[in-house]
A and B are shown apart, each in its own frame.
Chain A
């Protein structure tokens, strides 16, 4: 552990940007986006500097800490606002600020016609700051602040065009569903505080060695709920598809590359808890496996290019969660897939934005086709991302996904075979739906609506796409060369235990590639070599219909949670109206009635008043006389 004094600036720079842009108002319209981009880039530069500092030290000393100030101090309970930058956080810091800066650059052009571009950049900077706090916090409580911060930024950005009621509803939906996850995180913190007496990562790690399995399982399950909410994992996945209402750069940054991976970060960061709580760990694997298939199935039927990519994100994060649930062998691989996914999925989302930019905001892929000719750069960069996500060697996704499939097979016993088959099946589906997206958009014949003039996007938009495409090509190789990333993360996750090898590495690779070929061929036959309808056909199998409806996730949530909730609130309102308001009304009515009765004594005749005064005085005197006698 080494103390550092410069970590705070990583967060302070983008935070200052967002505050300045929000407070300066319209005055900052001309230069706001440039300031925001510059601050995000300088944060990235600072991250690179921290990395160079780390590389100079021995692996065990590579964790930097910084105490900002004493936050809560009650009796023996102390929480400092402290930062921790270790081998795990630095990966995230570079991903967030690096991809974040690229997306800032892209947005300058993408949002140039929006009159609220300054506000957009303010929120982007706010997001970067909150996300950095999330990954840099040295305790669960500090993480929680960042966790809520990114939720807020996500809410603001999904609903950025809130003049459309559907978009405003989408942002509310994301916020409310995230709240369920946040509740899980707060419960985890409460349990940790009540039983272990500390909430710092280091403290919980130390205390977890002597804690009971039941406690750790409780914390683990609560953390899993938190991760499921933030990362759109089953059963809290329903918000991600609607979150695509936000501007496309937001989908790329928040709902593909960074924020939605916060759940994976939380699980890998809490590895000591899950290692000691096998039940919670098993649940993590199940959630991951279910989501990876669930998302992929939804992806196969979506015609909206952004929703197809969102379903794909859900599925890929399912892969990461599954890997994170496989214990010490999986943590580093989950992070590897997270990083490669950050590159190729952000790149593809930016590509989708570029396509929409050229097609007058058309998102229906059935109305695309033959765009490769008109948008060569978008086509190539999107294509590289595509090759990476389906796992064609030597692109990035091949390495990371291959390792996940291999680790899943090696989990041992029936569980291993089951998980391995699911990941393989997921790979077939991934190849299918991504090929479908690719073919429908770029290579199949034109099915445009009238008056479309597709064109390549300006340089500020394609430059970030090119950089991300280079990342999607190279990162997989770089991370796996000599197990570089696994060894880099070893001080955080511990030694990678030896596993019984069920299948040798080469066989798994061959299986994975076969899966890709199967999936891609089906999609090619269905969409490239046969006619595609410009309208979605109605005569489709029940499975397609289910997938189009997101496998009934919304209907389920509505019938099980929303409607009973509405009934409950209606009863509560009734109770409020009758009991609480009734009491208040009763008091008022009593006063009113008493007044009406007493008014009758006011006759207006001076003589009757004087008679009353006289009688009153006599009564008073008589009373005094009786008492004194």
Chain B
């Protein structure tokens, strides 16, 4: 199968993620979109690794997964705390730093 298809898929996933981050208000959904973008990047890395016949890209993909796991832990904790104190998970409401 043509490996370039994976790249197209990755681009599609990334676009969906990016648009989701920009347009959605719910913090959980924004968070999921970020994960989507990260995984799109992972898919790209693995695909290029395959095209070039080296393992570098796959190694980096593992790194990305570890970082993404940490990010989920910290990010979800923050979102839950904000939800508890404000009774809302909308990112537009959390604009306190501006004032």
Contacts and interface: CB of A to CB of B under 8 A. Distances in A.
A210 interface: no
A66 B97 CA distance: 79
Contacts of A603: 95, 98
The number of chain B residues touching the other chain, given as a range, is 10 to 19
Nearest to B94: A606
Interface string B21-36: 1110100001000000
A614 B18 contact: yes
28 contacts: A602-B98, A603-B95, A603-B98, A604-B95, A604-B96, A604-B97, A604-B98, A604-B99, A605-B91, A605-B92, A605-B95, A606-B30, A606-B91, A606-B92, A606-B94, A606-B95, A607-B21, A607-B22, A607-B23, A607-B25, A607-B30, A607-B91, A607-B92, A610-B21, A611-B22, A614-B18, A614-B21, A614-B22
B27 to A, nearest CB: 9
Nearest to A611: B22
Contacts of B30: 606-607
Which secondary structure dominates chain B's binding surface? Answer: helix
Contacts of B25: 607
Contacts of B22: 607, 610-611, 614
A605 B18 CA distance: 16
B78 to A, nearest CB: 12
A358 to B, nearest CB: 81
Contacts of A607: 21-23, 25, 30, 91-92
Nearest to B21: A610
A301 B60 CA distance: 105
Interface string A444-472: 00000000000000000000000000000
Nearest to A602: B98
Interface in B77-99: 91-92, 94-99
CB-CB nearest 9 A-B residue pairs: A604-B98, A604-B95, A611-B22, A606-B91, A610-B21, A614-B18, A605-B95, A607-B22, A605-B92
Contacts of B98: 602-604
Contacts of B23: 607
Between B21, B23, B97, the greatest number of chain A beta carbons within 10 A of the residue's beta carbon is seen for B21
Contacts of B91: 605-607
Interface of A: 602-607, 610-611, 614
A452 B23 CA distance: 102
Given A605-B91, A607-B23, A611-B22, 20 more contacts: A602-B98, A603-B95, A604-B95, A604-B96, A604-B97, A604-B99, A605-B92, A605-B95, A606-B30, A606-B91, A606-B92, A606-B95, A607-B21, A607-B22, A607-B25, A607-B30, A607-B91, A607-B92, A610-B21, A614-B22
Nearest to A612: B22
Nearest to B96: A604
Contacts of A606: 30, 91-92, 94-95
A608 to B, nearest CB: 9
A600 to B, nearest CB: 11
A602 B96 CA distance: 12
B25 to A, nearest CB: 8
Nearest to A618: B18
Between A603, A610, A614, the greatest number of chain B beta carbons within 10 A of the residue's beta carbon is seen for A610
A603 B96 CA distance: 10
A604 B98 CA distance: 5
B4 to A, nearest CB: 18
Between B22, B23, B97, the greatest number of chain A beta carbons within 10 A of the residue's beta carbon is seen for B22
A611 B94 CA distance: 16
Contacts of A614: 18, 21-22
Contacts of B92: 605-607
A606 B98 CA distance: 11
A621 B41 CA distance: 15
B58 to A, nearest CB: 24
A132 B25 CA distance: 92
Contacts of A604: 95-99
Interface string B8-28: 000000000010011101000
Contacts of A611: 22
Nearest to B19: A614
A604 B30 CA distance: 16
A605 B96 CA distance: 9
A240 B92 CA distance: 82
A137 B99 CA distance: 75
Interface in B43-99: 91-92, 94-99
A610 B30 CA distance: 11
B34 to A, nearest CB: 9
A511 B18 CA distance: 118
A63 B99 CA distance: 87
Between A602, A603, A605, A607, the greatest number of chain B beta carbons within 10 A of the residue's beta carbon is seen for A607
A366 to B, nearest CB: 80
Nearest to A615: B22
Contacts of B94: 606
Nearest to B27: A606
A502 to B, nearest CB: 102
A605 B25 CA distance: 10
